[in-house]
Amino acid sequence: MWRTYIEKERMSWSEYIDLSGKVQEAFRVESYPTYIVLDKDGVVRFRQSGVNDFTGGELTDAINKALKRSSDPALAAVAAAAPPEPAAEAPKSAAANQPAGDPATTPLTGVEAWSLSGSVYKNEELGLSLELPKGWTPATAISLHEYNERSQAQARASLAQQHPEISATAIVVPKTVLYASLRGGSADHLTLPCLRVSANPRMPSLTLDRFTELMQRAAQTGGKLTGDPAEVTVNRHHLFRADMEMTAGATHLYRTYAQTRSGGYAVTLEFFASSKEELQRISASLNSLTFEEEEE
Shared domain check, 128 and 39 = no
CB neighbours of 248 closer than 8 A, spacing ≥ 6?
Answer: 33, 51, 222
Query: 10 Å Cβ neighbour count for 197?
Result: 25
Task: Give the domain-ending residue among 81, 97, 123.
Answer: 81
Task: Give how far the C-alpha of residue 263 lies from the chain's centroid of Cα atoms, to the nearest Å.
Answer: 21
Task: Give the domain-ending residue among 64, 81, 98.
Answer: 81
Shared domain check, 127 and 49 = no
Shared domain check, 117 and 73 = no
CATH number, domain with residue 124: 3.40.1000.10
Range of the domain at 123: 110-291
Tell me the average confidence (pLDDT) per consecutive run of 10 residues in the chain, 296 residues long. 70 74 72 76 74 67 80 58 42 37 60 95 95 94 91 78 66 90 83 93 82 88 89 94 83 91 91 94 95 62
User: By the 8 A CB rule, do 167 and 227 touch?
Assistant: no
CA–CA distance, 264 with 199 (Å, rounded to integer): 9
Measure CA of the first residue to CA of the last residue in the chain; give whole Å: 55
Shared domain check, 212 and 67 = no
Shared domain check, 259 and 198 = yes
Shared domain check, 242 and 158 = yes
Task: Give the domain-ending residue among 61, 81, 101.
Answer: 81
User: By the 8 A CB rule, do 113 and 103 touch?
Assistant: yes
CA–CA distance, 7 with 268 (Å, rounded to integer): 38
Is residue 207 domain-resident?
Answer: yes
User: By the 8 A CB rule, do 121 and 130 touch?
Assistant: yes
The pLDDT, as a whole number, for residue 201 is: 85
